[in-house]
Chain A
Amino acid sequence: DSGVTQTPKHLITATGQRVTLRCSPRSGDLSVYWYQQSLDQGLQFLIQYYNGEERAKGNILERFSAQQFPDLHSELNLSSLELGDSALYFCASSEGQGASYGYTFGSGTRLTVV
């Protein structure tokens, strides 16, 4: 167990729907990062939050949004889902604002859009 908790582990939904993925960082970590990994693809950075504030943004679609709550858990909201959104979504956390001591990844949420 990495200490980073992601729920749910699996999610199957229909096109056009909206889902929320949840991440609880390791105890003491203030930064949360979201990554998308499509089948046999690399890790695409979506967005980072530090202590409740957005810090960095990657290739995140406008249909996607995220936030980090006062208790430091984060949610990634995906709306108007398309077949191409099917992927593994990973959350990672780190202690500081940056990531110069390594990320710790959660086990991921596998999203299947049908």
Chain B
Amino acid sequence: GENVEQHPSTLSVQEGDSAVIKCTYSDSASNYFPWYKQELGKRPQLIIDIRSNVGEKKDQRIAVTLNKTAKHFSLHITETQPEDSAVYFCAALSSGTYKYIFGTGTRLKVLA
């Protein structure tokens, strides 16, 4: 069935360093890939997304890349700050379906 694998499950970086989170999806028909940030006890919030007709998208310190051939997509956060500490979820939406398949999450800790 549909599956999204996310790695790593935890990630600690020093403030100012970069962080990379990787996801792999199984359904080749997937065409939309959002990333959500969830702070402790709060709702997931959309931070960036990418569609299958684009290879890369950037928004300030956050970027997402997509490799359709390999069915990989990644979140890149540069110049990390303590407020970037949260759980990050990737997701994939398959064309013709109505639900996201979420990855298992990455707990990012930015150490001051």
- Identify the A interface with B (CB < 8 A): 2, 31, 33, 41-43, 45, 48, 50, 55-56, 58, 90, 97-100, 102-108
Contacts and interface: CB of A to CB of B under 8 A. Distances in A.
Contact of A50 (B32, B98, B101, B104): B98
A8 B93 CA distance: 29
| Dominant secondary structure of chain B at its interface with chain A | strand
Contacts of A45: 99-102
Contacts of B89: 42-43
A41 B38 CA distance: 12
A42 to B, nearest CB: 5
Interface string B1-42: 000000000000000000000000000000110101000001
Nearest to A47: B99
Contacts of B45: 2, 105
B40 to A, nearest CB: 11
A108 B34 contact: no
Given A2-B43, A105-B44, A105-B45, A99 B100 contact: yes
B43 A90 contact: yes
A100 B30 CA distance: 10
A97 B49 contact: no
B43 A100 contact: no
Nearest to A45: B99
6 tightest Cβ-Cβ pairs between the two chains A and B: A105-B43, A56-B98, A43-B102, A42-B104, A102-B46, A100-B32
A103 B105 CA distance: 17
A98 B43 contact: no
A48 B100 CA distance: 11
B47 to A, nearest CB: 10
Given A42-B89, A42-B103, A103 B46 contact: yes
